[in-house]
Amino acid sequence: MSKRHATVLAVWLSAALVAAAPVSSTSWWSPGQGTPLPEYATYQNDQGELGVLNTSGSLDTKGHPFFEPIGTNGRACVTCHQPSDAMSLSVRSIRERWTATGGKDPLFAGVDGMNCPNLPPDDPRSHSQLLERGLFRVALPWPPQRPDGSRIDPEFSIEVVRDPNRCNTDPTYGLNSANPTISVFRRPRPVANTKYTTHQNFGVGPFIGKNGMPSSIDPETGKPTSMNLMSDARAATLAIQADDAARNHLQTAAKLSTSQVARITEFERQVYIAQVARRDAGSLVEPDGPPAFGPRNLAADDAGVLGNNTTRYVFPLAGKWTHLPRTSDDTVNARNVSRESIARGHDVFMFRTFWIKDSMHLNSVGLGNPVKRTCATCHGMHMTGMDTANGWMDIGTTNLPWATEVPLNPWTEAKPQMPLFRVTCKPGVRPHPFLGRVIYTQDPGRGLISGLCNDVGTIVMEQFRGLAARAPYFSNGSAATLRELVDFYDRRYNIGYSELEKQDLVNFLGAL
């Protein structure tokens, strides 16, 4: 680790308690704490308030496998899927836990809470990916394996170019170990609003609409799945994901029991999260307010509906906040100004065209390259902004040249923290249409599962809900704030947003 990163860690460690002051850390849910999860709860965050709705009513968490430390390392599912963090986990909460426990919380377990399990456990530098970007280590076999364990002959070879965490070159955990493994670093996704992430509606069929390959099948129903659950789509269903997570993150000694899986997935199917208030705009869920906002609207609406149109909309605001009156009350006026900004941000998201270029599984699926469209073109699922169809794309968050890299020069000691891989498409395989035969990537994404050259660096897009509660953003945490997220798109696609457009878009995203 460089001096700069050690300094960064030291600074936030000393400042963490102060910085955390506006938001209570008592919202942390410890494994096995046994308190009930109410039917409806709200949690403060930097931008306002998040709502968590359990449509099945108050949940007794005592003995519940989502909330109990059912593995060997003291973690529960809830450790990384905190209600206050939109059923995901913010880097802010991670840092608070480090400060509160001196790094002893099970959250920091060596299996994936460290940059590599062979590092000294009590040293914050061993956990720099988690502490700085909220990233957990995801160890995947190479070559890829099918669900039945058989090996896939990949279309590409892979080499480790840069290994700052020393895990991919480690003789025990690395690519050349007895069990060849590739370690990538990713954010945990929200375990909520799952009727949208697992829908069986528009765009789901036996063959993937983006490349014609067979879709993953739900082994219980025999039906194809939307493959939108995880960043690399490796788990077809909530049940498979639960078991995968239990083994790899909770270090359970055996597979989950049928009863445990049923209780976990039953909980996950009925919990909804969304922002319900913003500090500047006030309540987002007033009666007769915009129907896009709040967990109750999410729970009530239809899943898997294409919203990139003017009949259903991705996030329907129903024109509620487009033009609001000015009164003699400055407080009301300030609130209305903020609400109008949210409405404008929606219009930027929905209607502001730009040229989308060289994005795999977007420009390659019949739209042409480039295509003049809007944010809602890709983020088209009604109420979530996900892709209705199998949603992995490469927008450049992990593939060079667009991925965020540390600028190296003689005047800085900053060193890259993300691994870097060189992927070479084999002879006889069509080159990647936008990156060619040799691709440099921080995370091969879906390519590590499918073995397909065109999938290298593709990441399943995530739902847009509860964003204010769970920074940082993108699968590799490369955008610390929503503004950085917007700036990435502006840079990537040469959009040329005005400052007002950026602010409005940030306000809109933060209201979801």
Partner 1 sequence: MHARHVISGSALLLAAPLLFGAGIPLGAEGARKNFVSCPIVRDTASVPCWLTEYEGELYFLTIQSDVTSPVTPPWLGHRVLVEGTVSAEPRICGGIVLKPVHLSVMPELDASCNTMLPAEERYNLTFEPPRPPGPSKGRLAFDNTPPPAARKADALPSTKEFVVPYDFDALVGFNHARVLTEILEFARAVNAHDIEIAGFRGAVRLSNGQVLSEEVDMGKRRAEQLAALLQGAGLKSPSYNIISRDESAKATGVDDYALRRANIMVR
- Residues within the interface to partner 1 (CB under 8 A): 205-215, 217, 222, 308-313, 350-351, 353, 355, 357-358, 363-374, 376-377, 430-431, 433-434, 436
Taking the C-alpha atoms of residue 2 and residue 414, their distance in angstroms, rounded to an integer, is 6
Taking the C-alpha atoms of residue 499 and residue 343, their distance in angstroms, rounded to an integer, is 16
Look at residues 205, 198, 203 and name the one whose alpha carbon lies nearest to residue 224: 205
Q: Is 340 helix (H, G, I), strand (E, B) or coil?
A: helix
How is the beta sheet containing 48-54 ordered, strand by strand?
40-45, 48-54, 271-278, 282-283
What is the chain's alpha carbon radius of gyration, rounded to the nearest angstrom? 22
- The least distance separating partner 1 from the CB of residue 152, rounded to whole angstroms, comes to 11
**Which one, 335 or 492, has the nearer CB to partner 1?**
492
- The least distance separating partner 1 from the CB of residue 21, rounded to whole angstroms, comes to 42
**Which one, 34 or 431, has the nearer CB to partner 1?**
431
**Which one, 307 or 477, has the nearer CB to partner 1?**
307
**Which one, 114 or 305, has the nearer CB to partner 1?**
305
- The least distance separating partner 1 from the CB of residue 114, rounded to whole angstroms, comes to 37
Q: Is 274 helix (H, G, I), strand (E, B) or coil?
A: strand
Q: Greatest CA separation found in the chain?
A: 73
- The least distance separating partner 1 from the CB of residue 457, rounded to whole angstroms, comes to 16
Pairs from 121-126 (Cβ < 8 Å, separation ≥ 24): 124/9, 124/13, 124/98, 125/1, 125/5, 125/6, 125/9
**Which one, 155 or 443, has the nearer CB to partner 1?**
155
- The least distance separating partner 1 from the CB of residue 237, rounded to whole angstroms, comes to 16
Query: Which letter does DSSP use for residue 177 in this model?
Result: S
- The least distance separating partner 1 from the CB of residue 370, rounded to whole angstroms, comes to 6
**Which one, 335 or 357, has the nearer CB to partner 1?**
357
Residue 111 burial (C-beta neighbours within 10 Å; 0-12, 13-18, 19+): middle
Residue 6 burial (C-beta neighbours within 10 Å; 0-12, 13-18, 19+): middle
**Two structure tokens written together for 132:** 């700085």
Dihedral over alpha carbons 323, 326, 332, 337 (to 10 degrees) = 50
- The least distance separating partner 1 from the CB of residue 443, rounded to whole angstroms, comes to 23
- The least distance separating partner 1 from the CB of residue 225, rounded to whole angstroms, comes to 13
For 248, list phi and psi in degrees, rounded to 5.
-90, -25
**Which one, 160 or 371, has the nearer CB to partner 1?**
371
- The least distance separating partner 1 from the CB of residue 454, rounded to whole angstroms, comes to 10
**Torsion sign, CA atoms 123, 129, 131, 137:** negative
**Which one, 199 or 249, has the nearer CB to partner 1?**
199
**Which one, 43 or 497, has the nearer CB to partner 1?**
497
Please state, in angstroms and as integers, the Cα–Cα distance from residue 178 to each residue in 99, 181, 449, 486, 487, following that order: 37, 9, 19, 42, 42
**Which one, 407 or 428, has the nearer CB to partner 1?**
428
- The least distance separating partner 1 from the CB of residue 324, rounded to whole angstroms, comes to 23
Helix axes 499-510, 482-492, angle to 10 degrees: 130
